[in-house]
């Protein structure tokens, strides 16, 4: 649940640090409003609604300079229908197969970036590569995984 909530917010803010702050605030409200939750409704949709309100409040209180997206683009992104829980499950399931196709170096980079959460600058320094080169490599791997997921889902 947390990764999906994180992804939901990140997509709308395009900033990792701001996303973590809004995620914390969202979690706090979920806790405070737990008794308001209506059994029988989608829990995921309920948490996303809370996140949406927190995002609005966050944007309202930030200077425009700190926000990545203008109101226009924010609304475009926010209005786009988010994928359903079933689609997300299918994507995760496909991804688990797809990562098996990565070579050793690619797997290692994904592990370091995601599971170990090592800053890219540190990874770049350890591998004696430029930050841009590591960023591009990561981007290519994600693209490859995205294509693999698409193929598997379409099957």
CA distances from 136 to 102, 130, 133, 148 (A): 16, 10, 5, 18
Q: Which is nearer to another protein, 56 or 143 (CB)?
A: 143
CB of 154 to another protein, least distance (A): 13
Question: Are the C-beta atoms of 50 and 30 separated by less than 8 Å?
Answer: yes
The helix (H) or strand (E) run that includes residue 85 is helix 85-98
Q: Which is nearer to another protein, 56 or 132 (CB)?
A: 132
Question: Is residue 133 classed as helix, strand or coil in its secondary structure?
Answer: helix
Q: Which is nearer to another protein, 80 or 128 (CB)?
A: 80
Question: Is residue 59 classed as helix, strand or coil in its secondary structure?
Answer: helix
CB of 19 to another protein, least distance (A): 9
CB of 15 to another protein, least distance (A): 6
């Amino acid at each position: 649940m947390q990764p999906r909530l994180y992804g939901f917010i990140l997509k709308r803010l395009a900033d990792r640090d701001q996303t973590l702050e809004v995620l914390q605030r969202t979690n706090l409200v979920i806790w405070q409003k737990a008794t308001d939750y209506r059994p029988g409704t989608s829990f995921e949709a309920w948490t996303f609604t809370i996140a949406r309100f927190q995002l609005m409040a966050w944007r309202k209180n930030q200077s425009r300079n700190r926000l990545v997206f203008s109101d226009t683009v924010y609304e475009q992104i926010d209005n786009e229908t988010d994928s359903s829980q079933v689609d997300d499950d299918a994507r995760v399931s496909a991804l688990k197969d797809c990562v098996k196709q990565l070579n050793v170096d690619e797997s290692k980079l994904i592990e370091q970036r995601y599971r170990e959460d090592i800053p890219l600058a540190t990874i770049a320094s350890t591998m004696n590569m430029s930050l841009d080169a590591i960023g591009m490599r990561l981007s290519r791997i994600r693209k490859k995984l995205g294509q693999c997921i698409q193929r598997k889902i379409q099957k």
